[in-house]
Amino acid sequence: MTQTLLDVRNLKVRLGRGGNAVRPVDGVSFSIARGETFALLGESGCGKSMTALSLLRLLPQPAGEITGGSVRLDGEELLAQPESGMRSIRGGRIAMIFQEPQTSLNPVMTVGAQIAESLALHKQMFGDAARAEVIRLLDAVGIPDAPRRYGEYPHQLSGGMKQRVMIAMALAGDPELLIADEPTTALDVTIQAQVLELIAGLQRERGMAVLLITHDLGVVAGMADQVAVMYAGQIVEQGPRDLFYAEPRHPYSRKLFAALPDSSKRDRRLTVIPGTVPPLNQAFHACRFAERCDRAWDLCRRREPGWFELAARRGVRCHLADPGVEAPPEAGSGADEEERHVAAPADGAGHELLSVTDLKVHFPIQKGFFRRTVGYVRAVDGVSLSIPRGETLALVGESGCGKTTAGKGILQLLRPTGGRVCFEGTNLLELKGEALRRRRSEFQIIFQDPFSSMNPRMTVGDIIEEGMVAQRIGGTASQRRERVERLLEQVGMRPEHRSRYPHQFSGGQRQRICIARALAVDPRLIVCDEPTSALDVSVQAQILNLLKDLQGQLGLSYLFITHDLSVVSYLADRVAVMYLGRIVEEGRVDDVLDRARHPYTQALLSAVPALDKDTQREIIRLEGDMPSPANPPAGCHFHPRCPHAMDICRVRYPDTEALSPTHTARCHLLTS
């Protein structure tokens, strides 16, 4: 029988006091066995992170308070420990790695000194012995040249390296339980695969248990032994991974699966979960998911469901699972939105709208008092692509490869160093001043972070109207106001939202506002820069449906910049794969995703987490980080990381090879 390490029973947390107090954790129970990976799934705002923080008694003060329940670590009650006792447990027996390593690391301390702090506290290890142990830990988490990295600061490391430092810091106290709170959300798919493989390997070596907090069903499929789904402060379903993926029982769990984008749903709308997680500053007397559930009936709105055990360590909180309740025939037969087909392409689709030839964006490197140019950062170094009217080209690749810079260069938000950007036959690089400003209404951009891209002091109406005023379009003030209200309705929001401010909306609603702002000036091309990467799967589905609907209705073209290949398979018509400023493979979406020929594309695809264990590929590990665009390698830029590199790869950059009329790649393997 597997020994239980952590046992949580009826845990309750309150933030604040009085009638407006928030209860982010409201009766949560689960257990984690030694050596087991337990995944906690759910949307933002469901209480996942607050559950993890309450285990360590790290609730925000003075507002946070554990009001009930039990947390036992190997039989020892943690809620009864004094603060001095918890200090030895935090970072010692239980360690935690956070979602964003940049904000978790001290920017004015070297990474070696930060790890050594943990050794001093939990192992009383100092001086040379501590330095040797830190270097051993850095080496264990796969950081090359560990003695040199010991003396470096966080800003000198890549995102993947910083996350590895966080893992080394967590391991310093030899924890029995590692809490990983969204450890890969901010990472590229290749770095994500490396970090998850590292955690799994260290878990096997040390026999640690892992509490994995995430909203990524693919990550859970590859990592977890046991899965729990959290909604509005409660666990609504729990079970072994294989049983959970084979037959999710709660309507919320099923909706999460149905909202995932993939190529099989290209001609249909994704299933969405309407509404948002309810505010947790209220007393609940009914099912918390009822208002968003297409399987709800009167009982769901009158009485809160209990917890029903289905098997060992498998249960669900839903009236549909109650053997003493007979659900009406219509409950459970709600029509999924995914059965609705997307709009047909608009008239004129297929004609070339944008043609980019040999685009270059180089940034000068300047040094000295006189700012002498000593070199260039070749962020975009000869990119060629085209986008027909009414189609979507996805631009994919790791962070730092130049995707966003290419998008901004195409829109003339960054002035290109060279090349041609022809929009309906006009070379935009030849336009300046007023001539360029007049054309700007025809191409717009949607940014990754909607909140930081909006002025927090402006109302939503003013934000959307700003472009119309700048372009002197839209008629009178009253006509512009009417247009703003129509745009809000078009993106699925209400006209009265125009008088509110950005902070009053959820992440998905803010992204809808940014889309309305882009549409306000009647563009024909929109550059979408990672518009769904920060969103939960259910909100992502809403935005992807909206983008597809607008494309069908208005004939829009999209340059969709992303590193999420599942989104690419659902949304894109063509795919261009970028590495270190250049496109290395391009083709129709099925050409590239099903028949990839470049080793870099193959590595990206292999690292994508799969829901079905039978479809999981062997991960192709890319050694090291992407080289600096200020000093690219000689020959093929990818050869230092390529498992198939040959002598010619170190000498000459490969030419473009036509693999079919719709598929090209740049690799010496294709001609050898």
Structural domains in the chain, CATH included, are 106-174 (no CATH), 391-414+438-670 (3.40.50.300)
359-373 confidence digits (pLDDT tens): 999 999 888 888 888
| pLDDT at residue 342 in the model | 59
The residue-averaged pLDDT of 275-289 equals 90
Structure token digits, residue 607:
């690292």
Give me the pLDDT at residue 661, please.
95
pLDDT band at 76 (very low <50, low <70, confident <90, very high): very high
How confident is the model at residue 350, as a pLDDT?
A: 65
615 pLDDT band, cuts 50/70/90, is low
CB 89 within 8 A of CB 58: no
Count other Cβ atoms within 10 Å, centred on residue 2. 10
322 has a pLDDT exceeding 70? yes
pLDDT band at 335 (very low <50, low <70, confident <90, very high): very low
If pLDDT is split at 50, 70 and 90, which confidence band does 69 have? very high
The arithmetic mean of pLDDT across residues 538-556, rounded, is 90
Rounded average pLDDT over 244-269: 91
| DSSP H or E run through 242 | helix 241-246
Q: Is the pLDDT of residue 347 over 60?
A: no
Longest dimension (CA), the chain: 82
CA 212 – CA 401 distance, rounded (Å): 29
Phi and psi angles of residue 390, each rounded to the nearest 5 degrees, phi first: 80, 10
Least confident of 80-84, 263-267, 603-607, 615-619: 615-619
**Rounded mean pLDDT of 147-167?**
86
Beta strands in 106-176 (DSSP E): none
**Over residues 327-332, mean pLDDT:** 71
- Mean pLDDT of the 649-653 span: 96
Q: What is the mean pLDDT of residues 208-225?
A: 91
Distances in whole angstroms, Cα of residue 516 to Cα of each of 94, 344, 373? 46, 21, 42
What is the structure's pLDDT at 44? 82
pTM: 0.86
**Residue 339: pLDDT above 60?**
no
Own/partner contacts of 646-651, CB < 8 Å, gap of 24 or more, are 646/672, 648/672
Average pLDDT over residues 540-555: 91
* pLDDT score of 60: 86
Lowest mean pLDDT among 479-483, 561-565, 584-588, 607-611: 607-611
Structure tokens at 342: 């997307």
Quote the pLDDT of residue 308: 95
**E strand intervals along 282-411:** 308-311, 314-316, 352-367, 372-388, 392-396
Structure tokens at 592: 């590239």
Confidence of residue 430 (pLDDT cuts 50, 70, 90): very high
d(CA 394, CA 493): 27
Q: Which helix (H) or strand (E) holds 299?
A: helix 298-302
- In sign, the C-alpha dihedral spanning 211, 215, 220, 226 is positive
Enter the tokens of residue 343.
Answer: 């709009």
Helix (H) / strand (E) element for 594: namely helix 589-594
| Range scoring the smallest mean pLDDT among 16-20, 27-31, 49-53, 131-135 | 16-20
* Percentage of residues in the chain having pLDDT higher than 90: 61
Instruction: Identify the pLDDT of residue 71.
Output: 97
**Average pLDDT taken over every residue of the chain:** 89
Q: What is the mean pLDDT of residues 585-611?
A: 93
Mean pLDDT for 508-532 is 91
- pLDDT band (50, 70, 90) for residue 338: very low
Q: 332: pLDDT confidence band, cut at 50, 70 and 90?
A: low
pLDDT at 337: 45
The pLDDT of residue 247: 93
Beta-bridged to residue 356, according to DSSP, are: 385, 421
Please compute the mean of the pLDDT values over residues 476-493 and round it to a whole number: 91
53-67, 111-125, 144-158, range with the lowest pLDDT: 144-158
pLDDT value of position 564 = 86
Q: How confident is the model at residue 618 (pLDDT cuts 50, 70, 90)?
A: confident
Confidence of residue 622 (pLDDT cuts 50, 70, 90): confident
3-class secondary structure per residue, 55-95: HCCCCCCCCEEEEEEEEEECCEEHHHCCHHHHHHHECCCEE
Q: How far apart are CA 662 and CA 664, in angstroms?
A: 7
